């Protein structure tokens, strides 16, 4: 490759990095406050007896987060649902990633959101702000009952939303599940009352 071509390629990479950094800047700036606010809201609420985890298709992110939460919060009923489709299995890459983490997702079958499912949940966790808005609009849910999963992550990573790994390579599943593990740890600690020393609003 010629020197001008190398310079063009390098310039393109720099521009792409700058674009992504600028695009995610608002979420990066707001993340710490959102994290503290989400934990504070949970801390001020009654201990949830039923938690509903929601993602678009209920085959990748929400089944995994449900399994992680249920493993630790044995006295809480944790369920999951989605905006699209029903009776679908978890994709093979999600099964493999879950198995590496000690979770068997093979029995999961997707199910759509219903009024009764939403109404019965004390706490609803969604994967992005658009899902939070759609859920509130469709089912008239009090926004205080909805938490965006990414806000529970103590670290900021690329954006507020949890990346949907559907039809993506294995590393995307691993990255999404890693992030969901961090989100789950924050929520579990708060629900179990183990975060007594965390300064929340």
The mean of the pLDDT values for the chain is 90
pTM for the model stands at: 0.86
pLDDT band, residue 15 (cuts 50/70/90): low
Query: H or E stretch including 18?
Result: helix 3-44
- Specify whether the CB–CB gap between 101 and 178 falls below 8 A: no
Domain range 3-191, its CATH number among 3.40.50.2300, 3.40.50.970, 3.90.1300.10, 3.60.20.30: 3.40.50.2300
The single residue listed with the structure tokens 């939460």 is 69
Which tokens belong to 127? 């994967």
Please report, for the chain, the start and end positions of each structural domain, with discontinuous segments joined by +: 3-191
Query: Looking at residue 159, what DSSP letter applies?
Result: B
Q: pLDDT (tens digit, 9 = 90+) per residue, 86-134?
A: 999 999 999 999 999 999 999 999 999 999 999 999 999 999 999 999 9
What pLDDT does 24 receive? 84
pLDDT band, residue 198 (cuts 50/70/90): very low
């Amino acid at each position: 490759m010629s020197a001008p071509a190398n310079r063009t390629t390098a310039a393109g990479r720099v521009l792409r990095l700058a674009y992504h950094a600028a695009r995610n800047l608002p979420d990066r700036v707001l993340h710490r406050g959102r994290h503290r606010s989400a934990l504070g809201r949970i801390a001020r609420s009654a201990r949830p007896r039923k938690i509903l985890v929601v993602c678009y298709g209920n085959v990748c992110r929400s089944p995994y987060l449900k399994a992680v939460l249920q493993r630790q919060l044995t006295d809480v009923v944790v369920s999951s649902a989605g905006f699209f489709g029903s009776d679908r299995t978890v994709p093979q890459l999600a099964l493999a990633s879950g198995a590496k983490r000690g979770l068997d997702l093979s029995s999961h079958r997707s199910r759509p959101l219903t009024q009764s499912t939403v109404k019965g949940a004390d706490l609803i966790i969604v994967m992005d702000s658009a899902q939070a808005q759609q859920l509130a609009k469709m089912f008239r849910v009090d926004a205080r009952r909805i938490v965006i999963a990414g806000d529970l992550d103590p670290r900021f990573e690329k954006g507020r939303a949890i990346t949907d790994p559907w039809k993506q390579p294995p590393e995307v599943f691993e990255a999404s599940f890693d992030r969901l593990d961090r989100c789950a740890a924050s929520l579990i600690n708060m629900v179990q009352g183990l975060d007594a020393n965390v300064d929340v609003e």
